[in-house]
Structures are given as structure tokens and as C-alpha cells.
Amino acid sequence: MSVDPESPPNPNPETGEVVLFSPEFARCPQPVYAGLNAHCPVARATLTGGAVISRYEDVMDALRRPEIFSSAMDLELALGTQRPMIPQQIDPPAQTRFRKVLDPRFSKRRMAEIEPAVRQHANELIDAFIDRGRCEFDQEFAVPLPCTAFLRLMGLPQSELPYFLRLKDGIIRSQTQVEDPTPEKVLEHRKKIGQEIYAYFEKVIEERRARPGDDMISYLLTTEIDGHKLTDNEILDVSFLLILAGLDTVTATLGCNIAYLAANPEQRRRLVREPSLIPSAVEELLRWETPVTAVPRVLKQDVSVHGMELKKGDLVTLLIGAANVDEREFPNPDQVVLGRERNRHLAFGGGAHRCLGSHLARMELQTAMEVWHQRIPEYSIQPGETPRYSPGIREVQYLPLVWEPRA
């Protein structure tokens, strides 16, 4: 871990403020996490002014108490939506009823059924550049592999992937798509993109109603909750969430994992020698890299955390990445232990809102890591180049890799 000596302290020891959405933080957040856990377990976010909770026990406690730390917040307009995304921005018991009908579509058994197709696609992607001896990992592998699998599950056309990626980035990384990224301009852009997402899925709903298939939208049209079919708005709100999560988080995780291994050849070579370590290595890199660094909550009642009085209605940021390197939970948290045995990381969240697609993500990550290291065991970051990380969800948007091409 390293800190730029020219950068101001983060967190600020005088104000207790922490900067969470900057390229510098995204590139190397672990020193910031360590500072928070050691000295400032409840900080203040510079953008929102809300509290930032960092230690594992506190974050886990908040995740398990949605009646106090609620996901049902007035953030929908900030994300370009007209209503809360389902099931992420609603709380139990309503959230639990939706999870009961959504979870079977992302079960471990169903993910095992699509694993051969994911493995075949990974090999096909590598076939296209292995003889070249180089690739830009994000665009040539990390984006197309999980996105193709997700679009297949949704029953959406693969040819429209660039369009879906533009929509997804228009919500998650709207600052990069606006010439003058003021908060007002960013919000205006997100609302415009949100309208596009709704309009697109309104058409899909009508098409599936006329010609149902074996895809997610067809399933949502026929399933029932408490004896009632889902409304079109509920299907739109589920689809809005899925298109954002399904096209971003696994891509981000793959990039972070390979960037780490490219920069740490001893760890990479051990993984090549011992491929049986890949499942535990995936969990350890999820802990260490934690692409989804934080999740927001809103308080439903006053609460005190480490002596700081937080008020009903306050916005709270649960810093998942910091919880995952808390020495109170993880022995030697600043060391990446590929065979770590007890690893209760929170990269998929926890409690009622634990990630809906965790089985899909694990399958894709393990398959991708196996195929990549079988085909390209020796690789490194191209000399003279620097990986580029995005703030928020930590995607390595530029990761140029090189290796010795086959003779």
C-alpha cells in the first residue's frame, strides 16, 4: 500500500471528513480504510455530509437492521429513476416477498447450468487476442464476458450491448458523460438516461407479453406475489436495478483481480501452480479489492455510533471496503492470503439486502480466473502504462496487459 505524499490526508484528522469518490481513492483505497478503522470509525463524507461507518462489526450490525438503517431512501431521483429500484431500495417485509420470487432465478443450481457457456465464451474471447501478446483487459475480456452471460439471462439482444453499457454508465458514471459535471447537470443527465431505460423496458414488456420466452422479463410477467401478478411498474423497477448491477459489478471485480495479480507476480504464479486455490482466491480478492466500496442507508430513528449522535433522516454510508480490511475481523488484513480459510467478507453486502446475483458473480469470476490462467499464465501490465480506476464502483477502465505470444 502506498500514499501519494502530495495528497492531503484522507481522512482529514482535523475535520473527520473523508473523500470517497476520487480517482486517487479508487486506485488505492486501503490506506484510507486503515486510517478510518484505526482513528475515525465514524467519519463524514465530503460530498453528502452524511456519516461514514467503517468498522466491520458496525457495518454488519447496520446491514442486519434495515428497520433502523433503511434502504428505502429518497435517492431514486438522484439515480434517474421515478420510483425505488426493486428489491434494492425497499425494505422487508416487501423486499423479502420480492426476493422469494427473484432468488430462484439466480440460484447456485441455475448458475451451474450456464457455466459451460461462460467457459466457452471466455476461451473464444482469449482466442481473439492470445497470439497478439497483448490486450486491453477491460474492453476485450472483463466487459464482454459477464455482460454476454447477463444479457442471455435477461433475453436481451447481444448486438445491443454497447447501447446497454451507455445506459448503465449514464447512471453509474454520469460524471464522465457530461461536459460540465456540476451536480445539477449530472442529475439532469441521469434523469434523461433513466427515461431511456424505462422506455426500452416498456417495449420489452409488451414484446414478452405477446411472445413469452424463458427469460427474466417473461418470468416476471407470469410470477405472482401473494396471489397477485407483478405490475408493469414493478417489473420496470426490477429491470432498472438488474441492468445496472448485471452489467457492472462482475466486470469491475474481474479488472481489479487481474490488475492485482499482474502487479504481484508471486501471487499470480502460486495461483497458476495451485489452481485449486482459485475459489478461495476469488473470495480473498473480493475482500481486498472490494469493487463496490460502499452502500448508502438512511436512518429511521436516532442512533449513537462510537459516541457520535446520528439523527433520524440522516444519510449514512456503510463503507464495505473498510469493513473488509478491519483487523478486528480479519487476521493480517493488509495481507492478501489466497488460501484464507475464514473469510466472512462483505463484498456482497449482508443481511436482507445481500447481493441477489452473488452465485452468478462467483461462478463467472471463478470460471474466468481458471480459463485465463490456463491460457495466459504469464502476464504483466504493459511497461510505461498505468491502469486507470473509476471512482464509486472500482472498475479498472484501462488495463493494458502483455505476455509472450505463442510461437
Instruction: Catalogue the active-site residues.
Output: 173, 248-249, 355-357
* Eight-state DSSP code of residue 142: I
Contact of 138 with 399, CB cutoff 8 Å = yes
Report whether 288 contacts 260 (CB < 8 A). Answer: yes
The dihedral sign for the CA sequence 195, 200, 203, 204: negative
Q: Nearest 5°: phi and psi at 401?
A: -115, 150
Q: Which of 65, 61, 43 is nearest to 52 (CA)?
A: 43
Closest CA to 376 of 139, 133, 144, 120: 133
Tell me the three cell numbers of residue 243.
441492468
Contact at 8 Å (CB) between 367 and 115? yes
SS3 state of residue 208: helix
Cell of 65: 437492521
Give Cα 293 to chain centroid, integer Å: 8
> What's the CA gap between 403 and 350, in Å, rounded?
39
Query: How many Å apart are CA 392 and CA 107, to the nearest integer?
Result: 28
